[in-house]
Amino acid sequence: MGDLGVVNFGIKPHSVELREMAKPEIGSDDVLVEVAAVSVCGSDLHQWTSSHSWPVNYPVVLGHEFGGKIVELGSNIAHWKIGDRVVSETAAIIDHNSPMTKIGRYNLDPSRKGFGYGVNGAMTKYVKVPARCLHKIPDNVPFEHAALTEPCSVAFSAVIAPGYIKPGDRVVVLGPGPIGVLSGAMAKLAGAEVAVVGLERDRERLKAAQAYGCEVIIGDAKSWATAVDGLGADGVVDSAGISATLKIALDLVRPAGWIAKVGWGPQPLDFSLDQLVQKNVTLQGSFSHNWPMWEKVLRMLDTKQLDLKPILGGVFPIDQWQSAFEKMHSGEYIKSVITPA
């Protein structure tokens, strides 16, 4: 009997189920990781509900936010050992000859494929991982927190890496999902005043933003954004995952301010972008992350600069995967973690 895996097997909504999985065979540059914890991502939920906008290699094991122990080494692997506690980046397949890969921006390689949609992910006992994706988990970071390194790195990439924020800035975050709340936490660590904006149904999620010292706003944030001098917020992080929130961001940001667009929004825009021009606003998309960002985040977890307890709702055995998904989908939990073993 094989180990169980949470498998997305088709395009129709709720085409996800537990299936028996064979133990993966690794190549010479891979390791086999026994998964200790895998976090549920919003993209897993999108594939579960078939509301995603990216191609999926069906059937595929879900899960790309994970940590565990190395149990097998490929023949070319010399710098890792059996038993090492590791987390993995998401870029399972990259083109090593891509110009983006060669400058360390492999997250932007057009041929990149990730765990959980391009290749089998980690919602199962064992996952094959290219050794280049691995990072060591600090000794005092538990697996259920280490599994959240990936969404923390997404927030770091959107909020910290561009270098826009200065102490004393005012930043609005649209959307109190996992990336939104973590973006608020990152902006606070950078010295900004932060307001996280949600809807009435987001009250539970907004409590986590409060735990990170952010203001929370239900509905219109214009008065908070313009409170200092009437011009607007220095920056806006759009993590809401719908296209229409870009219009809100353009209204809230001050002249010569910036907008970081990190939430996916496949819907066409039906409004003018003239404000972007008139205000001289910098609009930057943010996708994924790379090696140094992961190392910074792991250091933040190790030194307890970043506490993940406010966003971790619960830990579930793999046979309760649907409960883990439903708790997040309903907004009751910001993050659910599954333990496959």
pLDDT tens digits, 102-142: 999 999 999 999 999 999 999 999 999 999 999 999 999 99
> Between helices 149-159 and 178-189, what is the axis angle to 10°?
60
* Alpha carbon of residue 269 to chain centroid: 24
What global pTM score does this model have?
0.96
Binning the chain into helix, strand and coil, the percentages to the nearest 5 are: 30, 30, 40
Per-residue pLDDT, 86: 98
User: What domains does the chain contain, in order, with CATH numbers?
Assistant: 3-148+308-339 (3.90.180.10), 154-285 (3.40.50.720)
Per-residue pLDDT, 131: 98
Alpha carbons 309 and 222: distance in angstroms, whole number: 30
Q: Decide if pLDDT at 41 tops 60.
A: yes
pLDDT tens digits, 211-234: 999 999 999 999 999 999 999 999
Per-residue pLDDT, 316: 98
pLDDT tens digits, 243-256: 889 999 999 999 99
Is the CB of residue 159 less than 8 Å from the CB of residue 190?
yes
Is the CB of residue 144 less than 8 Å from the CB of residue 71?
no
Residue 176 pLDDT class (50, 70, 90 cuts): very high
Residue 193 pLDDT class (50, 70, 90 cuts): very high
